[in-house]
Amino acid sequence: MAAASDDTDPSDRIAGVPSPPAQEQRTEMRPPKTLKGAICDILKLAEQAGNQLSPQQVFESLCEQYSTDDIQAIERITAGQSQNKCWFEHRVGMITASVVHNVYTRVDTIQTKMGPHDVRALLKLVMRESKVTTADMRRGGKLEGAAKSAYLSQNKKHNNLQIHDHGLCVLQHRPFLGASPDGVVSCACCPARLIEVKCPKSLEQFVRSEVCHGSDPMQLKKKSRYFSQVQVQMGITGLAKADVFVYVNDMQTITLNVSFSEEYFDSVVERATFFFLHYVLPHIVQSAA
């Protein structure tokens, strides 16, 4: 990816996270449907035509529902993320980067071990009917601003370094996959990259549980849920690099550089598709009946 000039909005060069359209175009764009809303509309139109669609047919129709303009609009109207009602509405039924590791590992179990498999808890998580909030997540909410300031301070060698906030990014033709990055880093000297902030209570404990032993430079374990998270973020936004910035306080930080793995991302998309088609979609269809 080529570096952009200083006066170029970095979102212009991020696949899947384009800059907003001109103001006169915005007023003409219809509001994008939520994932659940799009599925319900597909079912309603089929019913009006006297057709009964199979889950596979609903799935195929859903994957063609969202235009590039829709993807752009969703990212724009969900800016602010957890401070924005639209962000919550569009994530219902969506396998997002924050929960994709749960789906990835569960599907592996489903496909390799005899059942029955109880996916009710995971389904509730994807449907946003339940919420998991850890101590580290609560710390992250309080310290994300300080962490980003520390990251910028530590990387002053980069010319015109900035962190840009984004809303919900959706994968084209797979609208049930999404990601809400902590930010996109731009500078005048390097390609754009993601930043994912983690704020554990103990840096030592984080390294012990999430970092490959003896790696130099330090690398995230491929079995880490954070590895899955940033791979999906990169796959959806089209960025090739991510910095996982681990922040305890201004004196205790590490930066873990992660490169995009197309092979890994493809395997995540495959398993996420399986879970959505076999569990999430039937649940939404049944609830709409």
CA angle 179, 182, 185 (to 5 degrees): 110
Question: Is 62 a domain residue?
Answer: yes
pLDDT band at 65 (very low <50, low <70, confident <90, very high): very high
Nearest alpha carbon to residue 276 among 39, 8, 114, 20: 39
CA atoms within 13 A on the CB side of 15: 10
The DSSP secondary-structure symbol of 278 reads I
Structural domain tally of the chain? 1
d(CA 10, CA 117): 44
Question: Is 7 a domain residue?
Answer: no
d(CA 134, CA 131): 10
Question: Is 68 a domain residue?
Answer: yes
The DSSP secondary-structure symbol of 280 reads I
Contacts of 38 (CB under 8 A, 6+ apart): 62, 65, 66, 175
Q: Which residues pair with 171 in a beta bridge?
A: 174
d(CA 48, CA 40): 12
**Tens of pLDDT, residues 103-128:** 999 999 999 999 899 999 999 999 99
Question: Is 4 a domain residue?
Answer: no
Question: Is 17 a domain residue?
Answer: no
d(CA 233, CA 219): 17
- Name which of 4-18, 77-91, 203-217 the model is least confident about: 4-18
pLDDT of residue 16: 38
Question: Is 11 a domain residue?
Answer: no
Pick the residue with more confidence: 217 or 246? 246
**CA dist 11 → 19, 170, 191, 238 (Å):** 5, 14, 12, 11
Give the pairing type, strands 241-249 and 174-179: unpaired
Contacts of 9 (CB under 8 A, 6+ apart): 19
pLDDT band at 289 (very low <50, low <70, confident <90, very high): confident
Give residue 236's domain range: 28-288
CATH code of residue 240: 3.90.320.10
**Tens of pLDDT, residues 140-176:** 889 999 999 999 999 999 999 999 999 999 999 999 9
SS3 50: coil
Mean pLDDT across the chain, nearest whole number? 90
Question: Is 35 a domain residue?
Answer: yes
Q: Which residues pair with 92 in a beta bridge?
A: none
**Tens of pLDDT, residues 7-30:** 444 444 354 333 444 333 434 457
This prediction's pTM: 0.87
For residue 113, give the amino acid letter.
Answer: K
The DSSP secondary-structure symbol of 206 reads H
Question: Is 211 a domain residue?
Answer: yes
Position 79 pLDDT exceeds 60: yes
